[in-house]
A = this chain, B = another copy of it.
Amino acid sequence: MANPTAAICVIGDEILSGRTKDKNIGWLAEQLTEIGIQLVEARIIADVKDTIIRHISDLSASNDYVFTSGGIGPTHDDITTVSVAEAFGVAVERNEEAMRRLEQHYMGTEIVLNEVRKKMADIPVGASLIDNPVSAAPGFCLNNVYVMAGVPSIMQSMFECLAPSLQGGTAPTRLTVQCETGEGNVAHILQQISEKYNAISVGSYPWFKPGQFGTAVVLTGLDKNTVKSAADELWKLVKKAGYKAETPV
């Protein structure tokens, strides 16, 4: 059976301007792969309500899971919550449990839980909260959309809280064959293996170091034995063609 699919949607003008470099897609991609959820697409979009609504609707309809990061803070440009609510036609209301968490978090600090900060307790009706161990203000899950903060440390802590609730699949097996030759010399072997084992993805990644170059061939699939057979066969063919290669690892 195929693994469940996911899309990531990073929301933030600061990423599109190049001022801030996204770190969330790469981290989430690794996490999802490990628990057997196949990331099929990632998008980075602007802080514009209609844009967010359009992409969330599109990605939610075509994937099992959607994970968003960014735009759930207290300022005027934090419009992810209202936009996701509108994408599903539900209202946003002040959530009692979220308020309780904010009150507890700010209690005994210099920070005043003013009207602007209370906005972080506004959650779409029917959504469940995602814990935020770093700064209390929760994310939420509405239908198949998981809305998280943009700051990487907060997003990561949120994802670790919600991960046990996800229905993952089979973690893929991945084997690498390091070939001491250019990919143009082994491409015909890669194609042959790719055609023979059509449930296996065969990736080819050339690398260069001063005075050296080679190709890392990465075989990935859900069935361990098939990946092992394909990698062994590929390794033998590369050797037979006269090139050095390390045994699959």
A interface residues, Cβ below 8 angstroms from B: 13-22, 25-33, 39-46, 73-77, 111-112, 114, 116-117, 151, 172, 174, 182-185, 187-188, 190-191, 194, 201-206, 218, 220
| A172–B18 CA distance with the chains assembled, in angstroms | 12
A16 touching B44 in the complex, CB below 8 Å, given contacts A76-B202, A77-B204? no
A18→B32 contact, CB < 8 A = yes
| A191–B218 CA distance with the chains assembled, in angstroms | 50
B14→A218 contact, CB < 8 A = yes
CB distance from A131 to the nearest CB of B (A): 19
Chain B residues near A20: list those with CB within 8 A. Answer: 205
B77→A202 contact, CB < 8 A = yes
CB distance from A59 to the nearest CB of B (A): 11
CB distance from A120 to the nearest CB of B (A): 8
Copies in the complex: 2
B16→A26 contact, CB < 8 A = no
- From DSSP, what is the main secondary structure of chain A's interface residues? mixed
Among B26, B46, B73, B220, which residue has its beta carbon within 8 angstroms of that of A40? B46
B16→A75 contact, CB < 8 A = no
Among B29, B76, B114, B218, which residue has its beta carbon within 8 angstroms of that of A194? B76
B30→A203 contact, CB < 8 A = no
B14→A116 contact, CB < 8 A = no
Among B41, B111, B204, which residue has its beta carbon within 8 angstroms of that of A45? B41
| A17–B75 CA distance with the chains assembled, in angstroms | 33
A206→B41 contact, CB < 8 A = no
A44 touching B45 in the complex, CB below 8 Å, given contacts A14-B218, A74-B187? no
Among B43, B75, B205, which residue has its beta carbon within 8 angstroms of that of A43? B43
CB distance from A147 to the nearest CB of B (A): 18
